[in-house]
């Protein structure tokens, strides 16, 4: 296994969040506390946003594949790889504006991908957490699972601070992916 490629892939979750935060800060008429990360695809920097999804989605998928080849517990690795694929597909199927009265087919697919990816990650967090409860990694995974489980329903309800809660949700997931990967790699 190529250790250098693993560490490059490990940057995917962090780089995804950093770019999303920067684009959210510089996109005109975009309100990070209210608008979702996916709505950056509808703004001035839509090409950069798509590249963020594609490049870092592929890095996250690659990270999951590396972990799948290296560790005996496969579910977390598969969930990470699938989430990487979901992120790449989310660049293709753009979201609808949060204030839109009608959903497009593309927007429904985008939202469905997000929801499926998050559900897979929640299950992976619980499975890896309960499978390693006697370790700090197990407690970390269960804590992240509980946070993700609480933040997901709050995020999908179209409320005033949806962008804030979604960023919290995605941040917890990306921190878990990074922590899980480092634990599993050692």
Q: Which residue's entry shows tokens 């599993």?
A: 184
77-116: pLDDT as tens digits: 999 999 999 999 999 999 988 878 888 999 999 999 999 9
Does this model's pTM top 0.75? My answer is yes
What local confidence, expressed as pLDDT, does residue 157 receive? 81
Average pLDDT, integer, range 60-85:
88
| Confidence at residue 184, expressed as pLDDT on a 0 to 100 scale | 84
* Count of beta carbons in the 10 Å neighbourhood of residue 36: 24
CB 44 within 8 A of CB 27: yes
Look up the domain containing 49 and give its range. Answer: 3-185
Report which of 18, 88, 15 is spatially closest to residue 53, judged by C-alpha positions: 88
How many structural domains is the chain composed of?
1
Mean per-residue pLDDT, 68-75: 77
pLDDT at 186: 74
Q: How confident is the model at residue 132 (pLDDT cuts 50, 70, 90)?
A: confident
Q: Is 25 helix (H, G, I), strand (E, B) or coil?
A: helix
């Amino acid at each position: 296994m190529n250790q250098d490629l693993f560490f490059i892939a490990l940057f995917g979750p962090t780089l995804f969040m950093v770019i999303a935060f920067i684009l959210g800060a510089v996109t005109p008429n975009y309100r990070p506390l209210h608008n979702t990360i996916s709505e950056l695809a509808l703004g001035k920097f839509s090409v950069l946003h798509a590249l963020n999804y594609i490049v870092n989605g592929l890095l996250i998928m690659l990270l999951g594949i590396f972990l799948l080849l290296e560790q005996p517990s496969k579910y977390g690795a598969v969930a990470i790889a699938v989430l990487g694929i979901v992120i790449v597909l989310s660049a293709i199927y753009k979201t609808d504006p949060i204030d839109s009265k009608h959903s497009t087919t593309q927007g429904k697919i985008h939202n469905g991908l997000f929801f499926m990816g998050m559900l897979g990650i929640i299950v992976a967090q619980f499975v890896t957490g309960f499978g390693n409860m006697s370790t700090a990694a197990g407690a970390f995974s269960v804590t992240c699972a509980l946070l993700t489980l609480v933040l997901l329903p709050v995020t999908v309800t179209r409320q005033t601070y949806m962008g804030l809660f979604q960023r919290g949700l995605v941040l917890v997931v990306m921190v878990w992916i990074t922590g899980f990967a480092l634990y599993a790699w050692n």
